[in-house]
Amino acid sequence: MVKYLLVLLTHLNIIVYNNISFYGKYLEVALLDNVKRVMISLPHTLLQEVDGFVQKSSGNRSEFIREAMKLYLQEKKKQEIRESLRNGYIEMSEINRELADEGISFDAKIMLYYEESLAECE
């Protein structure tokens, strides 16, 4: 059974049509039937702060917490990528140093050969 629901909340930038929600600029699609309810515990002061922000923005707690969780996960993914890149750069720096040492050693042999060749010409 398909439920038809059309709601346009411009102040929240949410469109709900045919049980599919489109959130803001991201045009993120979430099936409303796929939404799970969870219970969380928050310190009273944090809840007051959230409620104050939600009241000013004419939103609701659920939307605020969903958005906060999405932003948090995005930031965590960015941190993981940065850490992976950092580790890669550290690993590559050791490899690059070894290659440079080999190059210097090779260059020194060539320079010695060149100097000996010049000495023989004199």
Global pTM value = 0.51
Are 29 and 21 in contact by the 8 Å Cβ rule? The answer is yes
Query: How confident is the model over 7-55, as pLDDT tens digits?
Result: 333 344 444 544 455 554 444 445 555 778 888 898 999 999 999 999 9
What count of other Cβ atoms lies within 10 Å of the Cβ of residue 44?
7
Query: How confident is the model over 49-108, as pLDDT tens digits?
Result: 999 999 998 888 988 998 999 999 999 999 999 999 999 888 888 888 888 888 777 777
- For 38-98, give the DSSP string: ------HHHHHHHHHHHHHHT--HHHHHHHHHHHHHHHHHHHHHHHHHHHHHHHHHHHHHH
Structure tokens at 53: 């922000």
